Structure formats: C-alpha cells, structure tokens
Amino acid sequence: MADTTATFDFSTWPPALSKAQLDAITLYATTYALSHGVLYLPPAKHQPTVPTAAIHAPISLFPSPVPRRLFEYARKIQRTYNLLYARIAMDEEFLDRVMGADEGVGKVDDFIGQLWKGWKQLRDAGLAQPLHLGLFRSDYLLHYALKDSLSIKQVEFNTISVSFGSLSQRTAELHRYLLAATRYYDASPYFKLDNFPSNDTIAGLASGLAQAHEAYSVDDSQILFVVQPGERNVFDQRPLEYELLEKYSIRIIRQTFDELALSASVDPVTSVLRISCSPDLQPSGVIEISTVYYRSGYMPHEYPTASHYATRFHLERSKAIKCPTVALQLAGGKKVQEVLTQPGVLEYFLANEEKYGRDTLPAEEINNVRKSFMGMWGLDVGEDLQNPDHDAMKAGREEYGVRKAREAASSLVLKPQREGGGNNIYKEDIPPFLDILPPQERSAWIAMELIHPPENFGNYLIRAGTTDLESRTPVKAEVVSELGIFGWALFGGPDKQVVEREVGWLVRTKGKESNEGGVATGFSVLDSLLLVD
C-alpha cells in the first residue's frame, strides 16, 4: 500500500533529553563517527595527494521516524523501478524523442545535447559493449495529501554517481550503537532494536559492481572509479573498494577525467580499455578495465573543455561495462521522470507484451509505482495532456505549461536536467524566473507539485569542519527527512534481460527552511530510520 493512516505523532520528535544526556550522547556519536569512517576530508582549496586529516560527516543524533509499511512499500517498488529504468535506457527511440538534440531536451540544454550527440555518434559507429550497469537510488519524502493520510512520494530517480551508500550504512550502525550504549535514555518507547532496521548497502552496491566484473570475465582486469579532482567524499567510496577486494578479489584504480585523457587507450581492434601506469605499480605497464564506475561526470562544470567530453566518449567507445552508460545517464533526466507520469507510458515499458513478451508486470505492480508519483508536467507541454501522441502535443504547447506553472507557483518546484542539488526554482521565485526564461528553453524544465512532509517534526543536527566549538554543538531544528532506496541492474545483450536487486537505503535530513537537500553541498546531514506504526 502506498498510503497509511497516520498514527505516529511527528510533532513529538525528537524526544526530550536533559543537557547532561545531550552532551553525553553527542560525545558518543561524534567519537563513533570518527572511529568508524563516517568521515569527510575537510574543506580545502586543494586537497592534498595524501590526506593528513579528516572530519566527521554531518549527522543527526536521533534516527528519523518512518512508518514501517511505507518503508516496505518503497523497498518493494524499487525492483520495479530498476526494471523500468533499465528498459528506458535500452529504448533508443524513446530517449531520442525525449532527451535528444533533434527534438528533445538536448535541443535546448547544451549539456544534455552534448551527451546525446556523442552517444548518437557512437551508436551509429556500433557500440562495442551491449551491457549496461546501473547503481540506482530512488528518493522519497513523506507526504500528507489529507490530514490523516500519509504516503511517500518520489522526489527523483538517480542513475549516475549515486552517493552515500557506504555512509548511510555507517550512520545506521551509529544509531544502533547509540541505542546499545545509552538506550537513548529511554526517551521514547519506540527505541527498540526491532525498530532500527539493518542496512547492508556496502555489500549490496559492491555486489552489482562485482556482477558486471564477472560478466566481463577477464582475469586480472580491474574496475575503474572515475572520480572528481579534490574529492572530499572519499570515505563513501573507499568502503566499496575494500568490499570488492576483500570479498571478490577485484582490484580498483581511481582516476579523474584529466588523468584519463593521458592514460586511457582503446584497442582499435578489440575495443579493450586499458589504463597505462608505472611499471613499478604494474609490471606490464597497463591495466585492462572490466567496468567503468562513474562517481563524477554528472554536472556540466565537470566538462569544462571539449577534451573532457572526448574522454567520456572514449571510455564509452570501449568494451568495458559502463556504470552508467550515457544512455542510462540520459534516462535519469527529470524530463523522463515527467514523461513517465503521462497516460500509457508506464504500461508501454512494463505491460507491453508485443515488446517484452511474457516479461510484463501485472497492473497492481504498475499502479504501485504510479502511486509514488507527484503531479508534474513540462513547461513546453500542450493543453491536451491526455493525448500521448508526441506530434499532437506540439500544438498549443507554447503557453499552456507556463501558464499553468504561473497559476500554481505557490505549490510547485521547477526542475532542470541537473543532479547534485542547488538547481531548482521554488514557489514565489517561479513567476519572475518564467519572465526571463527564453521560450526555446522551456522544454528543459519540468514543473512538479510540492510534497508536503509532516509539520513540527524535529531532530538534533551536528555539523563539523570548523574550529568554532559552538557550531559543532547539536542544533535542534524543525526538519524534513528524505528516504532513498538503493538498487542495481545489469542489463542488455541480445536477450535484453534485466538482472536487478534492491540493496539498501539512505536517510538525509535538512532544516525545514532549506529547499535543497544535498549532504555534500552542505544542506543536509546523514540520518537513519526508526520504524514506527
């Protein structure tokens, strides 16, 4: 069920603690975080090659309550989402129409257009590797549609560089430790171990990477992590590396786009991707790559020159399995999310016997996914929203989507085709933004109805990274918590089969006054779950 009758009183959260209790539990939490890798590299203009210091990541003191049935519902529909986005990534005609540079978003969004054009050229030349790997995260907020009806609604579906899998597991372990060490001073009857779900995201995400490596099936090949220069979030990435080495004997190499521009080569005959290195590190001086795992490459500023796009497409050209492919990155666009809400589109991907034979889903499973949608539309959409025919929707599209957004601005967010936080336009900022948005750029934006999370819901937040002791004191604030569910899918090949799993969860909590939600961008803290009635 997507909805539940609200019984838990969110306004009672967090439970009251005395100052002595708060001081004690803060010390427990911060020292545990520092001892167990809940860490960031400290802010610096240039990160040192060999790190010399670390700070604990921003964290909450209490886990955040989520109704157990809604948590289980989100986990259940993740597997349908895994299948859905795998099939979208394999549907070139659909992606060309929605995201392409000829008639879709890429026509007016240069970043999307550059990705699509490069992908189109590679397709025309013939792709060397039919398999795709996706490590996914579907993000949700609790939503009150009516006073006593609580549901969860999807914020977005992420297909590239999904982060905080490792740190989400560590934060869940931190809160379970606080329960064991202090019982949270018996401040709430909900503080029972059964209400603190385990979270094995590190093993789950690593199993997806290992599955791709096994499918590549070349001895002594390695997985390439494509990372950002000066990456602060290394302690979220390294546990995956350690899991792959310790459990699967798979070795990892980490490089940036700038490093790969010099080190990466693709064999013109076999399309094997090799990375050159010092013979002191590898006797042959080269490493064959089985899987390319992107922890970067999702924002335009990461492609400051044409050579950065060239490097991305050079890797895409190879036989290595990409996580994600350009196609799968495009599938994660906000425009795709909006198009999925249009009549018949979910059925096209999930109940299309002509296209997928017997591998279709029953109406109940499809409707469970649809229940997680908020209302949304493209700013370029025509008034005939019930007509899924693309050509028919072009008629009258110049004004309707914008006019509807103006009229409902107080209950909307506008989203572009961007990841990473800090890109959206909210409420009263929408009309003046529409005044200056060129008509030809409307197709790059979607309007989405705002989700209404519980009111008067709080937590204690701890941020680090400063020498000011007062700023490191837990701050009690009214908050909003976002639940993310992780999954992976390996798919493609002649049979178009999809192997997929649901593999863990994440909670990020932010002050209610903040519209954005990224931990790395400073808006949110890492949190975990408390399951309630």
Q: So which residues are the catalytic ones?
A: 137, 156, 158, 163, 334, 415, 419-420, 508
- φ/ψ of 283, rounded to 5, equals -55, -35
293 is in an annotated binding site: no
462 is in an annotated binding site: no
How far apart are the C-alpha atoms of 373 and 246, rounded to whole Å? 40
Residues 6+ apart with CB under 8 A from 48: none
156 is in an annotated binding site: yes
Instruction: Estimate to the nearest angstrom the gap between the alpha carbon of 234 and the chain centroid.
Output: 17
In 3D space, the residue among 343, 312, 310, 342 whose CA is nearest the CA of residue 327 turns out to be 312
87 is in an annotated binding site: no
How far apart are the C-alpha atoms of 486 and 502, rounded to whole Å? 6
Q: Are 164 and 519 in contact (CB under 8 A)?
A: yes
Neighbour tally for 4: CB within 10 Å: 18
How far apart are the C-alpha atoms of 78 and 71, rounded to whole Å? 11
510 is in an annotated binding site: yes
356 is in an annotated binding site: no
Q: Which residue has the tokens 């030809």?
A: 440
How far apart are the C-alpha atoms of 443 and 394, rounded to whole Å? 11
Q: Which residues pair with 508 in a beta bridge?
A: 482, 526
254 is in an annotated binding site: no
451 is in an annotated binding site: yes
How far apart are the C-alpha atoms of 501 and 255, rounded to whole Å? 28
442 is in an annotated binding site: no
How far apart are the C-alpha atoms of 437 and 527, rounded to whole Å? 37
204 is in an annotated binding site: no
421 is in an annotated binding site: yes
246 is in an annotated binding site: no
418 is in an annotated binding site: yes
How far apart are the C-alpha atoms of 359 and 370, rounded to whole Å? 19
298 is in an annotated binding site: yes
237 is in an annotated binding site: yes
448 is in an annotated binding site: yes
**What region, left, alpha or beta, does residue 126 occupy, with left being phi > 0 and alpha being psi -120 to 50 degrees?**
left
Q: Which residues are annotated as a binding site for Mg(2+)?
A: 156, 158, 419
Q: Which residues are annotated as a binding site for ATP?
A: 156, 334, 415-424, 426, 448-451, 482, 510, 516
Q: Which residues are annotated as a binding site?
A: 137, 156, 158, 160-163, 231-233, 237, 295-298, 334, 415-424, 426, 448-451, 482, 508, 510, 516, 519-520
Q: Which residues are annotated as a binding site for substrate?
A: 137, 160-163, 231-233, 237, 295-298, 508, 519-520
